[in-house]
C-alpha cells in the first residue's frame, strides 16, 4: 500500500513538473518544499545553532537558508542544476546568511557527507534507496536525517508526522515528514562483569537501528528486552530470577559505558561492556 502510494506520488511529482517544463537533467525534478513543511522538517530534526545541515538536492536553497536565518545553523546544499544553485546563492546573500551556508553545483552522490549533523532530502524513493548505503558509510551515529514524503524502504523512520499542505503541487493536500537517527553499531559479542562477580555475554545482530539478540549470565540464558539504540545511546533490560536489570549506556567503538540499576528502587551504578567480536549492521533489503 505504502509502496503503491509512493510510486504514484513519484509519477505525479514527475508529471507535474515535466508538464510545467522543468529542467530534467537530474534524478529528481525540481519541486520546492512548501515553507510550512520546511519549518516542520527543521522542527522534527530539532535543528539548532550547533548543527551542520546538508540539503541533498537543494533546489533554491530554502531549507538551508531557513535553518540559517531562524537558528544560525551552518550548512551547505548541493544540486545538479546550476541555475538553482545560483538562485540559492543570491537568496543566501539577500538574507544575510551567505557566511553560514554555501551551495555547490554537484551530484549529491559525489558529496562528502561526513561533516553533517543533519541531512535533509526531498528526493524520490528510488534515489533514497541508492543513498542509503552512503548514509550508513559516512554519517556519524546520532546524525538526523529528515525527508519530505519519500522514505528509505524497509529502514523504518524513528518518527513520522503528517501535516496539512493546502497549496501542495501534487497528490493529497498533506505531506509526510520523517526522521531517522543514524544508529551506532552494537552488532557483535559483548561481555561485562558486575561487582558481585557475575559474568555476562550478550550476542547481538542489528538491522538498521534494530538490534536483536540473546544474553547469558555464567552461561545461563536470561531474557533480553526493551533493546533500543538512538544514535550512540543504548538501553535494554536483562530479566532473570533475581528480577529486572535496567542498563543504559553510550557506544564508543568497542566499548559501552553507562549505568545499571540492578533492582527496582536501587541506585544506579557504573557499568562497562567490551566488544570481543565485531559485527556489521545489516542494511540489505529494499
Ligand atoms: C524535489 S527538489 C527539492 C528541492 C529542495 N530540497 C526543497 O525541498 O525545496 C529535488 C532537487 O534535487 C535535485 N537533484 C536531483 N538529482 C540530483 C543529484 N543526483 N544530485 C544533486 N541534485 C539532484 C534537483 O535538481 C532538484 O532541485
CATH code, domain carrying 24: 3.40.50.150
Task: Count CB neighbours of 194 within 10 A.
Answer: 14
Q: Which of 148, 181, 214 is the last residue of a domain?
A: 181
Write down the pLDDT at residue 214: 98
Single out the residue of 225, 149, 145 nearest to residue 183, CA to CA. Answer: 145
Q: Does 37 map to a domain? A: yes
How many domains, in total, are found in the chain?
A: 2
| pLDDT value at 12 more than 60 | no
**69 CA to centre of own chain:** 23
Write down the pLDDT at residue 5: 42
- Tell me: do 106 and 208 sit in the same domain: no
What's the mean pLDDT in 11-39?
67
Q: Does 265 map to a domain? A: yes
Mean pLDDT of the chain: 92
- Tell me: do 53 and 97 sit in the same domain: yes
Q: Is the CB of 53 under 6 A from ligand 1?
A: no
Query: pLDDT tens digits for 159-202?
Result: 999 999 998 988 899 999 999 999 999 999 999 999 889 999 99
Indicate which CATH number applies to the domain containing 200: 2.40.128.20
Task: State the Cα–Cα distance between residues 216 and 196, nearest whole angstrom.
Answer: 16
Q: Is the CB of 62 under 6 A from ligand 1?
A: yes
**For residue 61, which atom of ligand 1 is closest to its CA?**
5
Domain that holds residue 176: 2-181
Ligand 1 centroid–CA 11 distance in Å is 16
Q: Is the CB of 79 under 6 A from ligand 1?
A: yes
Write down the pLDDT at residue 286: 74
Ligand 1 centroid–CA 56 distance in Å is 6
**Percentage of residues in the chain having pLDDT higher than 90:** 85
Amino acid at each position: 500500500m505504502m509502496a503503491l502510494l509512493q510510486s504514484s506520488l513519484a509519477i505525479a511529482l514527475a508529471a507535474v513538473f515535466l508538464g510545467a517544463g522543468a529542467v530534467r537533467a537530474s534524478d529528481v525534478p525540481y519541486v520546492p518544499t512548501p515553507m510550512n513543511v520546511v519549518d516542520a522538517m527543521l522542527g522534527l530534526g530539532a535543528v539548532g545553532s550547533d548543527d551542520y545541515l546538508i540539503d541533498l538536492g537543494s533546489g533554491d536553497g530554502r531549507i538551508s537558508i531557513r535553518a540559517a536565518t531562524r537558528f544560525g545553523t551552518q550548512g551547505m546544499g548541493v544540486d545538479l542544476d546550476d541555475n538553482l544553485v545560483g538562485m540559492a546563492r543570491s537568496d543566501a546573500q539577500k538574507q544575510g546568511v551567505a557566511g553560514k551556508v554555501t551551495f555547490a553545483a554537484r551530484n549529491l552522490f559525489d558529496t562528502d557527507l561526513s561533516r553533517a549533523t543533519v541531512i535533509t532530502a526531498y528526493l524520490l524513493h528510488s534515489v533514497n534507496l541508492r543513498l542509503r548505503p552512503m548514509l550508513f558509510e559516512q554519517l556519524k551515529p546520532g546524525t538526523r536525517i529528515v525527508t519530505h514524503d519519500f522514505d528509505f524502504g524497509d529502514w523504518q523512520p524513528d518518527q513520522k508526522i503528517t501535516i496539512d499542505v493546502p497549496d501542495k503541487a501534487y497528490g493529497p493536500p498533506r505531506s509526510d515528514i520523517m526522521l531517522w537517527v543514524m544508529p551506532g553499531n552494537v552488532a557483535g559479542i559483548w561481555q561485562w562483569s558486575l561487582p558481585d562477580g557475575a559474568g555476562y555475554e550478550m550476542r547481538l545482530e542489528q538491522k538498521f537501528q534494530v538490534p536483536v539478540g540473546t544474553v547469558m549470565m555464567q552461561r545461563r540464558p536470561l531474557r533480553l528486552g526493551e533493546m533500543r539504540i538512538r544514535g550512540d545511546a543504548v538501553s535494554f533490560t536483562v530479566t532473570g530470577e533475581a528480577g529486572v536489570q535496567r542498563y543504559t549506556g553510550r557506544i564508543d567503538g568497542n566499548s559501552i559505558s553507562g549505568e545499571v540499576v540492578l533492582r527496582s528502587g536501587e541506585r544506579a551504578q557504573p557499568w562497562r561492556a567490551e566488544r570481543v567480536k565485531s559485527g556489521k549492521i545489516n542494511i540489505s533489503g529494499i
